[in-house]
Amino acid sequence: MITANAAAVSATRGGAALAKLALRRGERSLLASIGLHGALISASFVSVFPIFWVLVTSFKPDTKAISPQPKLLDESNIDNYLNVLSGAKGDFLGWFGNSVLIAGLTTALAVFVAASTGYALSRFRFPGRRSLLLGFLAIQMFPFAVLIVPLYNLLLGLGLQGRALGLVLVYCSTTVPFCTYMLKGYFDTVPTDIDEAGRMDGLSPFGVFWRLVLPLAKPGLAVTAFYAFVTAWGEVAFASAFLSAADESKTLAVGLQVFIQQNRTEWGHLSAASILVALPAVAVFYLVQRFLVGGLSAGAVKG
Amino acid sequence: MRAFLVRHWYAYAMVLPVVIVVGVLVLFPLAQGIYFTLTNINEANIANPVLDRPASYEFVGLQNYLHVLSGSESYGAFWSTLVRTLIWTFGCVFFHYVVGLGLALLINRPVRMRGLYRVLLILPWAVPPFISVFAWRYLFNSQYGILNQGLATLGLPTPVWLGQSDLALFSVMVINIWLGVPFMMVTLLGGLQSIPHELYEAAEMDGASPWQRFRNVTLPGLRSVSSTVILLGVIWTFNLFHVIYLTAGQNPHTRILVTYAFERFFSGATRDYAVASTYGVLILSLLLVFVMFYRRAMRRQGEVW
């Protein structure tokens, strides 16, 4: 904690001091270089250490994970991973499957529904456009607490309470407006000349959208899909409340809590499970993050 | 009318799917949720087709609002919870922004291994948040967490970070700041890179000091990105549930408005849906008021959005 603050402070201070030197002369003194790298290294350390420590812990037996003298290696082996994957400590693969299913369905549905609307909002000037855009923005503000009871009521009525499909519907309430907004930002970056050329060649507006613009916006679709997936993947409140308490219907975000409930602090196993969840997420994240930022700011900044 | 339809029907047809989804999953529930705040709905009287039970809740007027706004402890101590929520929100967003901007400025300079630093610095954003929260709980553990073991080695006091004290609020804020800095850093970096280089050169020609260049070129250049990310940050953090819930559970010292709403909805024997909805409506109203003032303030500064 103290290190976190210290790094933050030194990072900002270092930044101001360095800006001075470098901009004046075009190159840095040795001292400035040391300061700059020092600040960046401490910040990187703070950012990486918690995850690194989980990685280290994931190889330790549970008893060593709570040892008063922590070491990097302490009877480390891969038993935790084997136990987690074999289901000896809760239905990990089942939770994983549920998470993939729920997040995947949410993503597919949201992007499918949102794409054409995002396009219409980007290209057509029709009465009601502005209020729709404002409405989608306003929905980003909704606390889940305002919708949780009526949605629970709705799921009860539909007989979907406690079921994965019900949770998908619930997630669509937030992901659909968000995806629409993001996709609008992407379609804005596709030049309108393409649409006009398509219309000249006799395509209908739907044809233009489907055959010309959509293929061009593929990176945007991918990033939007990724964002929707991640949101659903990590959601906790609705997943805790709307899935049945049975072990096999849980998602990862709910299931992993089992490891550290009262009387059961299996930090070694929790860490192994965490690494298994985090690895694919981190890999995909680094593949798409370049586009993610562009998309977010494009969607957010242009009205 | 006819001409109107002929002209716009494509647009409306394309917008329709989302309008239906939003109508069914957001607008109708919103209206119903607001109505629920005027009733005494709870687990015992909500309609439940599985149990073949019709709804039997009753209209009670503004009673829920009176209970909640009285600030009574049995209704979540609204006013002190609100103060805590504000500390949490503005504390987190302030440090997100300041640390994010500092790191963006550092990483925006030509520096060796910049790519590597960038990758390391956005790691907290890449890891699923619930995983990071577990990691931090482990670090913060008062007996065997590495933080306290480090402090003990240095001969410093080893507090109970996540116990029943205000230190727990501090700890969850640290976790959330760690989680949120990369997003700010990356968006602000994008903003920094879009500031034309000529502006800096011109400022330098005019003999502006580095601080003046930062004040008069960098900050104004970042204004539109900043106003957006700060607004988003405030809204997200105000509504942020999972960090506190997964770290501290129902610790009253980390209770903010949304976590209390969830407590009322889900926990224990209470399952008081009416009070949960009342909290939801109050949170939404607070955010709407905030956004109104924020927009007005931005507009006064010449920002058009």
Q: What sign results for the dihedral spanned by CA atoms B95, A3, B144, B253?
A: negative
User: Mean pLDDT, chain B, as a whole number?
Assistant: 89
Instruction: State the pLDDT at residue A150.
Output: 92
For B59, phi then psi, to 5°, come to -75, 130
Chain B residues touching A69 at Cβ < 8 A: 149
ipTM over 0.90: no
Determine which of B1, B24, B26 to mutate to test the interface with A (most A C-beta atoms within 10 Å). Answer: B26
Instruction: State the pLDDT at residue A294.
Output: 57
Instruction: State the pLDDT at residue A303.
Output: 34
Other C-beta atoms lying within 10 Å of the C-beta of residue A164: 17
Angle at B173 between CA B169 and CA B179, to 5 degrees: 150
Query: Which tokens in the block code for residue B239?
Result: 């509504």
Instruction: State the pLDDT at residue B269.
Output: 66
Chain B residues touching A235 at Cβ < 8 A: 242
What DSSP character marks residue B195? S
Which has more pLDDT, A7 or A129?
A: A129
Q: Report the percentage of chain A scoring pLDDT > 90.
A: 25
Instruction: State the pLDDT at residue A274.
Output: 92
Contact B50 A271 (CB under 8 A): no
Instruction: Provide the total of helices (H) and of strands (E) in chain B, helices listed first.
Output: 16, 0
Decide if pLDDT at A5 tops 70: no
For A162, phi then psi, to 5°, come to 85, 0
> What gap in Å lies between CA B75 and CA B78, rounded to an integer?
7
Q: What sign results for the dihedral spanned by CA atoms B192, B198, B199, B200?
A: positive
Q: Under 8 Å CB-to-CB from B206, ≥6 apart: which residues?
A: none
Decide if pLDDT at A20 tops 70: no
Q: What sign results for the dihedral spanned by CA atoms A38, A41, A43, A46?
A: negative
Which has more pLDDT, B68 or B269?
A: B68
pLDDT tens by residue, B128-166: 999 999 999 999 988 888 898 889 889 888 899 988 999
> What average pLDDT does the segment A231-247 reach?
86
pLDDT tens by residue, B40-87: 998 888 888 888 888 888 999 899 999 999 988 888 899 999 999 999
Instruction: State the pLDDT at residue A3.
Output: 39
* CATH 1.10.3720.10 assigned to A92-301: yes
CA distances from B142 to B22, B136, B152, B222, B303 (A): 45, 12, 11, 41, 47
pTM attached to this predicted model? 0.86
Three-class secondary structure of residue A162 per DSSP:
strand
Angle at B268 between CA B267 and CA B271, to 5 degrees: 65
Q: Which CATH fold would you assign to the domain B77-250?
A: MetI-like fold (1.10.3720)
Lowest mean pLDDT among A57-61, A265-269, B77-81: A265-269
Each domain of chain B, given as residue ranges in start order, spans 77-250
| Rounded (to 5) percent helix, strand, coil in chain B | 75, 0, 25
Chain A residues touching B100 at Cβ < 8 A: none
Q: Which among A149, A206, A300 has CB closest to B277?
A: A149
Instruction: State the pLDDT at residue A301.
Output: 42
Contact B123 A282 (CB under 8 A): yes
Instruction: State the pLDDT at residue A10.
Output: 43
Q: Report the percentage of chain A scoring pLDDT > 70.
A: 85
Q: Report the percentage of chain B scoring pLDDT > 90.
A: 50
Instruction: State the pLDDT at residue A293.
Output: 60
> What average pLDDT does the segment B29-38 reach?
94
What DSSP character marks residue B74? G
A157 near B47, Cβ under 8 Å?
yes
Contact A297 B12 (CB under 8 A): no
pLDDT tens by residue, A86-123: 888 788 899 999 999 999 999 999 998 999 899 999 88
Three-class secondary structure of residue B44 per DSSP:
coil
pLDDT tens by residue, A189-208: 888 888 888 888 888 888 88
pLDDT tens by residue, A120-158: 998 888 888 889 888 888 888 888 889 999 999 999 989
A301 touching B (Cβ < 8 Å): yes
Decide if pLDDT at B29 tops 50: yes
Other C-beta atoms lying within 10 Å of the C-beta of residue A180: 32
Contact A23 B8 (CB under 8 A): no
Decide if pLDDT at B91 tops 90: yes
Other C-beta atoms lying within 10 Å of the C-beta of residue A28: 17
Identify the band that residue A68 occupies on the pLDDT scale cut at 50, 70 and 90.
Answer: confident
Q: Residue B61: left (phi > 0), alpha (psi -120 to 50), or beta?
A: left
What DSSP character marks residue B303? -
One-letter amino acid of A139: I
Please report where in the chains the tokens 């330790």 appear, as a residue: A60
Q: For chain B, give the longest Cα–Cα distance.
A: 82
